[in-house]
Structure 1
Amino acid sequence: MKIHVKLYGEFLKYGPEESYKELPEGSTVNDLLKQLSIEERNYIIFLINLKRSWFEDKLSDGDTVSIFSPVGGG
């Protein structure tokens, strides 16, 4: 299946801002992270089609996955 990937902030070092990745049916967000060589970290925020998601959430063909870290400051 084909997944549209959007990387932001510190995750831009793992690839271009936007790309497409091929994954087997039944793959999860964590499988996508492994393909991108991104370590699983508690502070990563994922959106699948603009909805908050988690490491174990399954992906579907045509999904858009946005990956970024929380915004902080003060």
Structure 2
Amino acid sequence: MAVDLDPQLLDILACPSDDHAKLVVGTPADPDADALTCTECGRQFRVDDGVPVLLLDEAIEPGEQPADQ
């Protein structure tokens, strides 16, 4: 299931790291994943029931596998 966020919201969301870079829907491996990926650092943030979880402690680092895989 792909993330379905309002385009205006997606335009203002940014990675909570110091980079504050734009987020894109999906992951590099799965463009339809329920996640947002930072265009700068590559961290992946899950989206639960349409709500992005933008916590660095909850993010999946680049190269790291999600816990459910």
TM-score normalized with structure 1 length: 0.28
> Greater helix share, 1 or 2?
1
TM-score normalized with structure 2 length: 0.29
Which structure carries more relative contact order (alpha carbon 8 Å, separation 6+)? Answer: 1
- Structure 1 or 2, whichever has the larger Rg, is 1
